[in-house]
Chains A and B, each alone.
Chain A
């Protein structure tokens, strides 16, 4: 308990250090257009969160990104399982996943702009960011199962479905959860980047774009701060949902 409190205090102290540094630099620059002061940004964020529009924008963006994220996790698990079961499928899909991982997000966004409606782009980009990570980890999880437990299942005649559900999946899930956690922050950041380029109606990306266009730097910082806070909250939520200890084994791989 004491260790946790100390760790928390250290985090807060580090955060305060950087905010103080930001404040000092902003004071030195003395031009909000270039670098607004932290207090100014906080005040603007305070103004924003008192409007209904803020929640509508945040909610809409979150819905887009989350739907893409969930589709990515689900598809990644399914394709990872199929890749494990069918070597030919693995050989077929592996290069495609490699290409998705290696392609810059901006390139994808611009390419996808030509294919689908702009409202669907952030979700699709989030989906693409999460899919290869979850796919690879799911496959890895299946490949690293304990063969001795599979033998145990065989001699006690578990059958294929029971072996999959009761023996294999509990061993694979830590890998899936680990990638799902890593993918959340990535999906959110890539999703917002997609919004900035695709400019769907009612989106954080559009607000950021407008801030840049009209040189409203304080707004840009306030929206960015909101994105960071949401990102931290989402990662904590995913961490809370996926990190549980069972049998002394952390499902956090």
Chain B
């Protein structure tokens, strides 16, 4: 996946010509001040926004996203929110992932009945269940307690051995990847 001189502005320039040639696997940590365009960059890669100029060159990679907010469907249970992500349901895989992230007992609960941290973990489980070649995770450790934060960090590192993981983060404990500082 290549990004060539990507520019984006909302009244003021946010991304001022970003270029990068990403490999097919590895961990990339995007850091920067608030308003530096970190989330915008992920959105452009995910195809949710068009750059003002420049190019995003994809080779048919499947992209899996964890948004800054959970974006779970409020009228579905957590388990259904995970299962809906894929065309062919795999309940075993969904339940195994929910269990791994301590959400087995919350599987039949609705998002409104869950804490912020549980919803975020639910969104992470959805992304993992969906799978893909590129994982775009926006602040995946933000609302988590130390134990779950460690679990997510470990998952990210494990995932980056076989896929490309691009993470926006402020978490000082999340290290071990290639740091990209946006200004």
Contacts and interface: CB of A to CB of B under 8 A. Distances in A.
B69 A248 contact: no
- How many residues of B sit at the interface, in one of the four size bands? 20 to 34
A232 interface: no
Contacts, number: 52
A249 B76 CA distance: 10
Interface string A131-170: 0000000000000000011011011101000000011001
B110 A247 contact: yes
A246 B75 contact: yes
A249 B67 contact: no
Contacts of A247: 74-77, 110-113
A166 B74 CA distance: 11
Contacts of B101: none
Interface string A198-216: 0000000000000000000
Contacts of A249: 74-75, 110, 112
A168 B64 CA distance: 21
A42 B15 CA distance: 77
Interface in B77-121: 77, 84-86, 110-113
A155 B84 CA distance: 13
A156 B73 contact: no
Interface string B62-76: 011101010101111
Contacts of A166: 73, 84
Interface string A169-192: 011000000000000000000000
A157 to B, nearest CB: 8
- How many residues of A sit at the interface, in one of the four size bands? 10 to 19
Contact of B63 (A149, A151, A155, A171): A155
A8 B85 CA distance: 45
B67 A152 contact: yes
A249 B69 CA distance: 19
Interface string A102-119: 000000000000000000
A166 B89 CA distance: 15
Interface string A215-253: 000000000000000000000000000000011110000
Contacts of B172: none
Interface residues of A: mostly helix, strand, loop or mixed? helix
Contact of A156 (B75, B85, B110, B112): B85
B24 to A, nearest CB: 20
Nearest to A169: B75
A151 B74 contact: no
B58 interface: no
Contacts of B126: 156
B11 to A, nearest CB: 20
Contacts of B64: 155-156
A170 B130 contact: no
Contacts of A155: 46-48, 63-65
A41 to B, nearest CB: 46
A248 B71 contact: no
B110 A152 contact: no
A156 to B, nearest CB: 5
B48 A151 contact: yes
Contacts of A148: 67, 69, 71
A144 to B, nearest CB: 14
Nearest to B84: A166
Interface in B21-76: 46-48, 63-65, 67, 69, 71, 73-76
Top 3 closest A-B pairs, CB basis? A247-B110, A248-B112, A152-B71
8 contacts: A148-B71, A155-B64, A156-B64, A156-B65, A156-B126, A247-B110, A248-B110, A249-B110
Interface of A: 148-149, 151-152, 154-156, 158, 166-167, 170-171, 246-249
Given A156-B65, A170-B75, 6 more contacts: A152-B73, A156-B130, A246-B110, A247-B76, A249-B74, A249-B75
